[in-house]
Amino acid sequence: MSVFLQNVFWSGVSLSGISFLYRLFFMRRTLALLGYHSISHESSTAETHNEIYKHLSVSAGMFEKQMRWLQRHDYVFLRFSDLLEIREGKRTMPPRPVLVYFDDGYKDNYLNAYPVLKRLGIPATIFVVTDCLDKKKILWESGVNPKEANIFLSWEELREMRDVFDIGTHTVTHRKLTSLGPEEVREEFIQSRAYIEKQTGARVIAVSYPKSRFTQEIQKIAAECGFEFVLSHGRGFRHSADLRYLEKIPVGPGDTMRLFTVKLSLYYPLYSLIRWISHL
């Protein structure tokens, strides 16, 4: 289905008013995790080699529109440290909770997302790949030399972002965990967490699995390593009080404002089904 037809279809669905009533009455304490990767702007496209990963990039203008929409509709922004207090009973889940996070650790998160979030007073979480920040790899086949690339954050930039961002791990190498043995998985978790904590002084309590791939054994290892939260459990919202394994809602470059609001509504399961069918 083309973007135009999707917009026409979802505009009609949204105008029915059912989604508004659903958000108003049934989603008041349903947690939404909004997942981003790259936030691009024409001023930094060449500097950060955005042509390599533009399929992951939401424009800075659209990102700010999305954040302002959430503020206008009274969403309460949380960090994982807030979720830990909620799970421990130290505070209650607020109405319309949302958590904004970023995977991989792109430099344009610092250049383009960080200023928007700071200006709007919105907290977020970033999951970094330690080998990428150390310029050992860039995740894709490319002629760009990792040591000379300007694609990922520096550790200094990450430390500067701590007034807005909690920091989590996206492992050391970003390898698909389901292709690794148990000890290799454990090393990916333990080494990346220890290194991030050493470099930033942050306590790392959450892990985001590369490529959202996992098994029950990987879940067990993550728990044994002491992570309080794990992302990639599935797509959607977290309705229950068990906040350890979390569903998420990815946001990408093809999401217009209409599709963005649909993803935060009753219709997200239908949207996911249509998207899955269109890729068969």
pLDDT digits (tens, 9 = 90+) for 98-147: 999 999 999 999 999 999 999 999 999 999 999 999 999 999 888 899 99
Position 204 pLDDT exceeds 90: yes
* Alpha carbon distance 22, 13 (integer Å): 13
| Of 168, 167, 252, nearest in space to 208 by CA | 168
Residue 277 reports pLDDT greater than 60:
no
Work out the pLDDT band at 239, boundaries 50, 70, 90.
very low
The tokens describing 174, both together, are 């970003």
Q: Which residues of 95-114 are buried (b: 16+ CB within 10 A; e: fewer)?
A: ebbbbbbbbbbbbbbbbbbb
Provide the residue type at 117 as one letter: L
Task: Please give the Cα distance from 148 to 137 (Å, whole number).
Answer: 11
Are the beta carbons of 174 and 209 closer than 8 angstroms? no
Residue 211: band (very low, low, confident or very high) from pLDDT cuts 50, 70, 90: confident
Strand pairing class (124-128; 57-59): unpaired
Q: Is 118 exposed, middle or buried (0-12, 13-18, 19+ CB in 10 A)?
A: middle
DSSP assignment of 5-52, as one string?
Answer: HHHHHHHHHHTTSHHHHHHHHTSTT-BEEEEE-EEE-TTTTTTTTGGG
Instruction: Tell me which of 81-95, 206-220, 260-274 is least confident.
Output: 260-274
Cβ–Cβ under 8 Å, residues 204 and 130: no
104: left (phi > 0), else alpha (psi -120 to 50), else beta? Answer: left
Mean pLDDT over all residues of the chain?
86
Q: Are 9 and 3 in contact (CB under 8 A)?
A: no
**pLDDT score of 138:** 92
pLDDT of 37: 97
Q: Is the dihedral of CA 238, 242, 243, 248 positive or negative?
A: negative
CA distance 49 to 151: 6
Angle in degrees, CA 102, 208, 28, rounded to 5: 70
Q: What is the pTM of this model?
A: 0.86
CA 139 to chain centre: 17
Q: Which CATH code of 3.20.20.370, 3.40.367.20, 2.40.10.120, 3.30.700.30 fits the domain covering 3-278?
A: 3.20.20.370
Residue 12 tokens read as 């009609």
Q: What is the pLDDT of residues 36-85, one digit of tens each?
A: 999 999 999 999 999 999 999 999 999 999 999 999 999 999 999 999 99
